[in-house]
């Protein structure tokens, strides 16, 4: 059996019949024995960096500085602030 590699530029078309067959599969029927177990999660920090960069690029500098002054709790502060605004607007 040869290994075939695909990326987003050369994916084959999937027919409706194939999608239907896949939809009917149960988790226990899928053979994942050839997929190596993921044990190194160090690369997942890049996602956090992208979010931080996106926030920095989309928020005013003073707003971003205020939200991040306590370190990594900026997501909690953003959520609390948005929730406060949402509930205030809902009450009006």
* Tally of domains within the chain: 1
Name which residue leads in pLDDT, 23 or 68: 23
Tens of pLDDT, residues 25-37: 998 888 888 888 8
42 is a domain residue: no
12 is a domain residue: no
89 is a domain residue: yes
CA-to-CA dists, residue 7 to 12, 32, 46, 61, angstroms: 10, 20, 21, 38
**Sign of CA pseudo-dihedral 27, 32, 35, 38:** positive
The shares of helix, strand and coil residues in the chain, as percent rounded to the nearest 5, are 60, 0, 40
71 is a domain residue: yes
Q: What string of DSSP letters covers 9-40?
A: TSPPP--HHHHHHHHH--GGGS--TTSPPP--
16 is a domain residue: no
82 is a domain residue: yes
**Calpha distance 41→25 (Å, rounded):** 28
pLDDT at 1 over 70: no
Q: For residue 72, what are the domain limits?
A: 59-92
pLDDT at 17 over 90: yes
77 is a domain residue: yes
pLDDT score of 48: 65
**Token output for 74:** 């900026």
90 is a domain residue: yes
pLDDT at 50 over 70: yes
pLDDT score of 8: 76
């Amino acid at each position: 059996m040869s290994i075939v590699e695909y990326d987003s530029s050369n994916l084959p078309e999937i027919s409706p019949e194939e999608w239907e067959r896949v939809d009917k599969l149960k988790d226990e029927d899928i053979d994942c024995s050839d997929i190596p177990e993921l044990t190194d999660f160090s690369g997942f920090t890049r996602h956090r960096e992208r979010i931080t960069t996106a926030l920095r690029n989309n928020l005013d500098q003073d707003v971003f500085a205020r939200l991040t002054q306590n370190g990594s709790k900026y997501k909690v502060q953003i959520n609390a602030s948005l929730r406060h605004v949402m509930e205030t607007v809902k009450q009006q």
